[in-house]
């Protein structure tokens, strides 16, 4: 017998929201700030004013220099350098792997499989071919629509009562 999985449909969600409304309303409080902290330390309130110190550009620059932090420009430059040699990816269907391969090419070699898995995928790296996968798609671990059923209001009541103890 196939597995079945529960899900909330539109009606179940609306029903759940009607159950949650009184819980949320009862637990709600006014939005009143009771304390203000910076890094876990309470700040003093003077004359209804709280001063939170924010680092200046000079403070930030000294941190970058002292600890070797990277700026956005440093990161952009590193990415640009890393991608400089990549011009794109090509796919090439071959009857057999060539003696050597080209950078940026994925070679598709027939594996006598059934559709949609009819090729093994290879790249040429470190002077040799490396198998990187197949074109097979395995959906065996995924939940199928036929295994889903909408929760009933009674099932929602059971879960709600377990959580909120009504």
pLDDT digits (tens, 9 = 90+) for 78-100: 888 877 777 788 999 999 999 99
Q: List pLDDT tens digits, range 141-162.
A: 888 888 888 889 999 888 888 8
What parts of the chain have a pLDDT lower than 50?
Answer: none
Q: What was the pLDDT predicted at 27?
A: 64
Task: Tell me: do 45 and 11 sit in the same domain.
Answer: yes
Burial class (CB in 10 A: 0-12, 13-18, 19+), 129: middle
Task: Tell me: do 75 and 94 sit in the same domain.
Answer: no
Task: Tell me: do 28 and 60 sit in the same domain.
Answer: no
Task: Tell me: do 77 and 21 sit in the same domain.
Answer: no
Give domain status of residue 141, yes or no: no
Q: What was the pLDDT predicted at 62?
A: 87
* Alpha-carbon span 131 to 129, nearest angstrom: 7
* Alpha-carbon span 56 to 71, nearest angstrom: 15
Q: What was the pLDDT predicted at 46?
A: 74
Domain count, the chain: 2
Q: What was the pLDDT predicted at 146?
A: 86
Task: Tell me: do 160 and 78 sit in the same domain.
Answer: no
Q: What was the pLDDT predicted at 109?
A: 92
Question: How far apart are the two ends of the chain, measured CA to CA in Å?
Answer: 34
The answer to whether residues 9 and 153 touch, using CB atoms and an 8 Å cutoff, is no
Task: Tell me: do 43 and 90 sit in the same domain.
Answer: yes
Q: What was the pLDDT predicted at 154?
A: 92
Task: Tell me: do 101 and 124 sit in the same domain.
Answer: yes
For the chain, the residue count is 166
Domain that holds residue 59: 55-84
Give domain status of residue 29, yes or no: yes
Q: What was the pLDDT predicted at 122?
A: 94
Give domain status of residue 90, yes or no: yes
Task: Tell me: do 63 and 22 sit in the same domain.
Answer: no
């Amino acid at each position: 017998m196939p597995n079945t999985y529960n899900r909330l449909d539109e009606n179940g969600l609306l029903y759940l929201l009607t159950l949650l409304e009184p819980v949320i309303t009862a637990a709600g409080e006014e939005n009143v700030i009771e304390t203000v902290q910076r890094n876990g330390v309470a700040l003093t309130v003077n004359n209804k004013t709280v001063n939170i110190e924010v680092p200046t550009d000079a403070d930030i620059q000294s941190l970058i220099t002292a600890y070797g932090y990277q700026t956005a420009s440093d990161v952009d430059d590193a990415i640009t350098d890393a991608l400089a040699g990549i011009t794109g990816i090509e796919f090439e269907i071959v009857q057999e792997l060539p003696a050597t391969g080209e950078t940026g090419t994925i070679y598709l070699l027939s594996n006598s499989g059934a559709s949609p898995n009819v090729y093994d995928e290879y790249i040429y790296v470190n002077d040799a071919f490396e198998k990187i996968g197949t074109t097979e798609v395995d959906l065996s671990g995924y939940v199928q629509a036929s295994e889903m059923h909408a929760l009933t209001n009674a099932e929602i009541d059971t879960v709600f009562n377990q959580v909120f103890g009504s």
